[in-house]
Amino acid sequence: MVVDDEEKANILNTFFSTVFTVENEMLDEIPRNNENPILRVTNLTQEEVRNRLNKIKIDKSPGPDGIHPRVLRELSNVIDKPLFLIFRDSIATGSVPQDWRIANVVPIFKKGSKSEPGNYRPSVEGADISSAMEDEERRRKIRDFTFDKCKRGNQGFQRILLQLFGYLGHGKSSFINTVMCVWSNSDNKNHANAAGAHEGHTTERLTYQLTKNIVLVDNRGCSKMNTYETGEIFAQLANLLPLDKSVDWSHGFGLVDRIVEAERHVKASDFTIPIFVYSVANSPTPGLKEELADIFRTAKKLTKVVPTVVLTHRTHENYTEIENMFRDIGVDTFFSLENYTDKTQKRKRETHEAVIQFLYEVISDAQFRADYPRDADQEMFDRKLFVLNYIHQREMKLHEANLARQKDVENVRMEQAFRLRQQEEEARIQKNRVAYKERMERLQRDFERQKLRDQFEHQERLENMEKKGNKKT
Ligand SMILES: Nc1nc2c(ncn2[C@@H]2O[C@H](COP(=O)(O)OP(=O)(O)OP(=O)(O)O)[C@@H](O)[C@H]2O)c(=O)[nH]1
Ligand SMILES: [Mg+2]
């Protein structure tokens, strides 16, 4: 164990520096839009810069530039213009002033085990100006997102549906509350009716409007991904069931009827991004990994993307084990956070950052996908076909299983009937045997009686003959 402070600092420093060197290589891999390198972020305004400066927290220490945050805030309407000009040039040229790249890096505990350097996040102290710029740039991209501005136009799409799905009580509604709180920069409100410690769960498929073109969908969760519930989950993910209505599970082909009925209400113009919400506080149970692998495989076939995973309760010690389990099944996009809940005392910067980063990246991903040739109506049709086929296959399997069960039951019934008949036959034979024995005994008795009677008569005859003989002589 490392106890010396300097040694601890060196370990973390070495770890962070290895992470930072990888960053440049990764940047090179990001596909760049060479036709319009700067268009999407150039309309930043001086007023927005001033607003951000006014929101800077003044109780923090100054960064490496030595400027106290209080000064930045107090002078917001003096420095807004020069800063605005620097930001504008910085965005246009794609470069950041050298001074802003120097920062004091402090380790902030993030998740999982405290002895693992990888579980600390490098926090940049005092980088208020550059992080405010990054935050604003990201918010702008999210706020302004429209399919109309994609390379090939909207191709029939209008809204992004960030569709949350997963097990009951894993924090879907709380995540929506957290996103809405961060996005609106206001206190946490229970918009999505997150459950209290012992309360019921969400049974409706409700929407929460983030921007004009981005909507969060709080889908009904499931207790176990058995065949009935997965059918329902995939029908929701495929956007085949109505929004803002309750979701009643139905067995058999009932789901097909509901999909057909919902046809008039669901829109092909909704672009689905699947988001799987999983709470790290739940230890993996036997068979969970296989169950999840199955869900992710089907969800990918259905939506053409591997769902993004949001891990809630991220400071829980299970974190690494759970993340590895998802990695094993092929997931590579994770976001993790502590949701705001009814017990949350105050808003946190790291939650804010996690949410904005989540929104920014999933929106960028949606945009990236929408730049390829697509056909909204065809995709809706394909999803419907997929889910109807899924239900059909499921029912056929259940039907076959039922038949096999019925056959087993019939076999047992026939065997029982045969045994019963056998027992009856044995009982009949036994009865006959007894009756026969009784008859024989009766005959024997009759015979004995007759014999005695004959003997007696014979005796009498002899005696009579004797008497008659005596009289003659
Ligand atoms: N500590 C902590 N508690 C959380 C977190 N996320 C959710 N919770 C709590 O977990 C419970 C369930 O959260 P919900 O957001 O209602 O879960 P859900 O996924 O919407 O549940 P269903 O609607 O039943 O599917 C609530 O009591 C939340 O306060 C988190 O990140 N950290
Ligand atoms: Mg809920």
CA–CA separation, 319 and 271 (whole Å)? 31
Those residues with Cβ within 8 angstroms of residue 264's Cβ, 6 or more apart along the chain or in another chain: none
* 256 Cβ closer than 6 Å to some ligand 1 atom: no
- Of all helices (H) and strands (E), which one includes residue 137? helix 128-143
Q: Beta strands 308-312 and 270-279: pairing type?
A: parallel
CA–CA separation, 166 and 219 (whole Å)? 8
The preferred substitution site among 279, 337, 348 for testing ligand 1, maximizing ligand atoms within 8 Å of CB, is 279
CA–CA separation, 26 and 354 (whole Å)? 20
Quote the ligand 1 centre to 343 CA distance (angstroms).
Answer: 11
Which backbone phi and psi does 467 adopt, to 5 degrees?
-60, -50
Quote the ligand 2 centre to 173 CA distance (angstroms).
Answer: 4
* 188 Cβ closer than 6 Å to some ligand 1 atom: no
Q: What secondary structure does DSSP assign to 88-129, as a single string?
A: HHHHHHT---HHHH--EEEEEE-SS-TT-GGGEEEEEET-HH
Those residues with Cβ within 8 angstroms of residue 300's Cβ, 6 or more apart along the chain or in another chain: 306, 307
Share of the chain residues as helix, strand and coil, in percent rounded to the nearest 5: 55, 10, 35
Question: Per-residue pLDDT tens for 198-240?
Answer: 455 778 889 999 999 999 999 988 887 766 788 889 999 999 9
In the chain the first and final C-alpha atoms are separated, in Å, by 146
Q: Which amino acid is at 90?
A: S
Quote the ligand 2 centre to 199 CA distance (angstroms).
Answer: 10
Question: Per-residue pLDDT tens for 237-274?
Answer: 999 999 988 777 777 788 899 999 998 899 999 999 99
Question: Per-residue pLDDT tens for 81-107?
Answer: 888 888 777 777 767 666 666 555 666
* 341 Cβ closer than 6 Å to some ligand 1 atom: yes
Ligand closest to 280 (CA) is: 1
Quote the ligand 2 centre to 161 CA distance (angstroms).
Answer: 17
Contact of 290 with 225, CB cutoff 8 Å: no
Contact of 29 with 45, CB cutoff 8 Å: no
Ligand closest to 338 (CA) is: 1
Question: Per-residue pLDDT tens for 447-472?
Answer: 999 999 999 999 999 999 999 988 87
Q: Beta strands 245-246 and 204-209: pairing type?
A: antiparallel
Which backbone phi and psi does 439 adopt, to 5 degrees?
-60, -45
Question: Per-residue pLDDT tens for 273-288?
Answer: 999 999 999 988 898 9
The pTM (predicted TM-score) of the whole model is 0.67
Quote the ligand 1 centre to 316 CA distance (angstroms).
Answer: 14
